[in-house]
Chain A
Amino acid sequence: GENVEQHPSTLSVQEGDSAVIKCTYSDSASNYFPWYKQELGKRPQLIIDIRSNVGEKKDQRIAVTLNKTAKHFSLHITETQPEDSAVYFCAASRGNQFYFGTGTSLTVIP
């Protein structure tokens, strides 16, 4: 089965700096890579995703890159704001089933 590893487990940045979270996966057949944001006490919500036929996708301050050869993908948040503080989960998917990483707790220090 698929194995997704996520690093770092915790990340603190100053407001305005960039944050990068990295994930690796093992199943070369995985073709969909969503990122979820979970605020304290709330449900995970999709913030951005990338398909296997694309190398990079950007949505305002958030971008995701995918390297299929190396089987890794990353989330980049620029100009971080305090409201970006949350736990971020990556996932890899082939078909219906998602395999989630263990999460990164991001703290943006004002």
Chain B
Amino acid sequence: DAGVIQSPRHEVTEMGQEVTLRCKPISGHNSLFWYRQTMMRGLELLIYFNNNVPIDDSGMPEDRFSAKMPNASFSTLKIQPSEPRDSAVYFCASSPPNRGRYNEQFFGPGTRLTVL
């Protein structure tokens, strides 16, 4: 298995532009998570989906952020309009259906976003 796939790996954009980050979870996994990582705030959960349905989006910073999961193999995180403070590494992670009560999360390589 190729693992969790994210694209692009690096994105540099100007303030005000729309940014779309993409994620393909591991085949067979039914939970998908979007995280943001910065030096100041560490790893923050933005949103997570279970069976393509958003379960908890309380970590989404504001209305400029939106996430979708149209099918089991694809998710997007969109920022519009982008701002310099959105600069961070964005990770996508997926986990398999419950095995008992415990689930390991597998992280993608991340997208390093720089907003100028």
Chain A residues proximal to chain B, CB less than 8 Å: 31-32, 34, 36, 42-46, 49, 51, 89, 93, 95-103
Task: Determine which of B45, B48, B107 lies in contact with A44 in the assembled complex, contact meaning CB atoms within 8 Å.
Answer: B107
Residues of B within 8 A of A45 (CB): 107
| B interface residue numbers (CB < 8 A to A) | 31, 33, 42-43, 45, 48, 50, 55-56, 91, 95, 101-110
User: Given the interface contacts A43-B91, A100-B42, does A93 sit within 8 Å of B103 by beta carbon?
Assistant: yes
B45 close to A98 (CB less than 8 A): yes
**What separation, in Å, do the CA atoms of A95 and B114 have in the docked complex?**
33
Q: Determine how close the nearest CB of chain B comes to the CB of A82; give it in whole angstroms.
A: 23
6 A–B contacts, CB within 8 A, in A order: A32-B102, A42-B109, A43-B91, A43-B108, A44-B91, A101-B42
- Chain A residues with Cβ under 8 A from B101's Cβ? 31-32, 95
List the A residue with the shortest CB-CB distance to B4.
A43
Min distance, Cβ B39 to any Cβ of chain A, angstroms: 10
Q: Please, how many angstroms separate the alpha-carbon atoms of A34 and B108 in the complex?
A: 17
Asked whether, in the complex, the Cβ of B42 is within 8 Å of the Cβ of A49, the reply is no
State whether A43 touches B110 (Cβ < 8 A): yes
- Return the contact of B48 from the options A34, A89, A97, A100 (Cβ within 8 A): A97
